[in-house]
Amino acid sequence: MPLASVPIEALPTRSTTRVRVFLDRGDSGTLVPSAVASSPELVLFDLDDTLFDHSLTCRAALARLQVQTPAFATRPLDDLWREYLRLLDSQSSGVASPPALYADRRAERFRRLAARCGWKMAAGEAREISARYRDHYQRLRRPVPGAVALVRRVARRARVGVITNNEYAEQEEKLRFLGLSQLVDPLIVSARERVAKPDARIFRIALERADARASATVMVGDSWTNDVLGARGAGIRPVWFNRFSVRPPTRHRVEEIRSFRPTGPVEALLDPATRRRPLTHSAARPSAA
C-alpha cells in the first residue's frame, strides 16, 4: 500500500492496542482460527513505518521546513505531506543505486514539491532545501510507539530479523538509532540483495540466513503489498500492522495489529506460547475492499 494512501484523519490520537484475529472459513463452513498455534522460530519485521516512524518523521520535518520556507506554507501541511510521500513512492525502486543518485533523487523530490506550490525552484536551491529537510528529518526521527519494547520482548523467545526496501547504510543506521542492531539478525536490505519486497526471493534470503522454515516464521509489516502479500507469497504467515486503520485493498484474510502498545496482546498473537490466558479478540469478518 503506498504511504500516500494513509488517511491523515485516521491517525491514532492515543495509544491503544487492538488485535483482530480474523477467522477463516474452512471447507466445512466452520470458522477456525487462522493463527498458528506454535511458537515461531523467526519473527521478521519491516523497518519503515513498522519499527521506525518514517511517515510521521517526514511530516514533522516538513512542518519545520514550512516555518523556514514560506513558499511551502502556501499549502496545508497534510497536503504537502501526502504529496511528498507520493513523490517518494514514485521514486522508490527498492534496488541498489549509487549514493550520489540518492541525494539527487531527494533534491528532485523537493524541486517537484516546490512546483506543486507554484515555485519554480532552481537546481541549487533544491539541493539546499533538501539538505535542510534531511537535517530536520534526522533530528526529529522517532520509533513507532511500542515497537522497540515489542522487539526486545520477542527477541527473548525467537530470532528476530528485518526485511526492508531501501539503501543498506540508511537502514542499518536507522536500526542503530532504534538501539536494535544487536537484536536483529539477519538484516535484509533490498539494495544490497538486489531484490525488493514483495518479491518472494527476498523473504527466502531471510529464511536461509536465519536457517528458519517458512512455516515457523511470522512477518510483521505495514505494507499490504510488500509485507502481507509478499510474505504470503513466500509461504510465511503475515501479520498486518495497520497502524492507520485503513481498509485492506484486497479480499485476502489476514491477522491485524493496529498498535504495539501494550506489547502483551501483540506478543501473544505473534507467539502463542506467551499466552497465559485466552486472548480477548473479536471474530471480525475481514473488511474486504
* Residues in touch with Mg ion (CB under 5 A): 46, 48-49, 222-223
Q: CA-CA distance, 159 to 149, in Å (whole number)?
A: 15
| Shorter beta-carbon distance to Mg ion: residue 48 or 83 | 48
* Distance in Å, CB of 46 to Mg ion, minimum: 4
Residue 172 identity (one-letter amino acid): E
Q: CA-CA distance, 14 to 184, in Å (whole number)?
A: 28
* Distance in Å, CB of 277 to Mg ion, minimum: 32
Q: How many other CB atoms are there within 10 angstroms of residue 71's CB atom?
A: 14
Q: Phi and psi dihedrals of 146, rounded to 5? A: 85, -10
Q: Which residues of 267-286 are buried (b: 16+ CB within 10 A; e: fewer)?
A: bbbbbbebeeeeeebeeeeb
Q: Which residues contact 70 (CB under 8 A, 6 or more apart)?
A: none
| Shorter beta-carbon distance to Mg ion: residue 22 or 52 | 52
| Shorter beta-carbon distance to Mg ion: residue 217 or 223 | 223
* Distance in Å, CB of 169 to Mg ion, minimum: 18
* Distance in Å, CB of 221 to Mg ion, minimum: 6
CA distance readout (Å), 208 to 2, 128, 166, 214, 226:
28, 43, 20, 10, 19
Q: CA-CA distance, 24 to 181, in Å (whole number)?
A: 36
* Distance in Å, CB of 227 to Mg ion, minimum: 7
Note the maximum CA span of the chain: 65
| Shorter beta-carbon distance to Mg ion: residue 53 or 222 | 222
* Distance in Å, CB of 197 to Mg ion, minimum: 9
Joined grid coordinates for residue 245: 486503520
| Shorter beta-carbon distance to Mg ion: residue 7 or 76 | 7
* Distance in Å, CB of 17 to Mg ion, minimum: 19
| Shorter beta-carbon distance to Mg ion: residue 46 or 53 | 46
- Let me know if 12 is exposed, middle or buried by CB neighbors in 10 A (0-12, 13-18, 19+): middle
Where are any strands of DSSP class E within 47-135? none
Q: CA-CA distance, 215 to 37, in Å (whole number)?
A: 11
| Shorter beta-carbon distance to Mg ion: residue 121 or 186 | 186
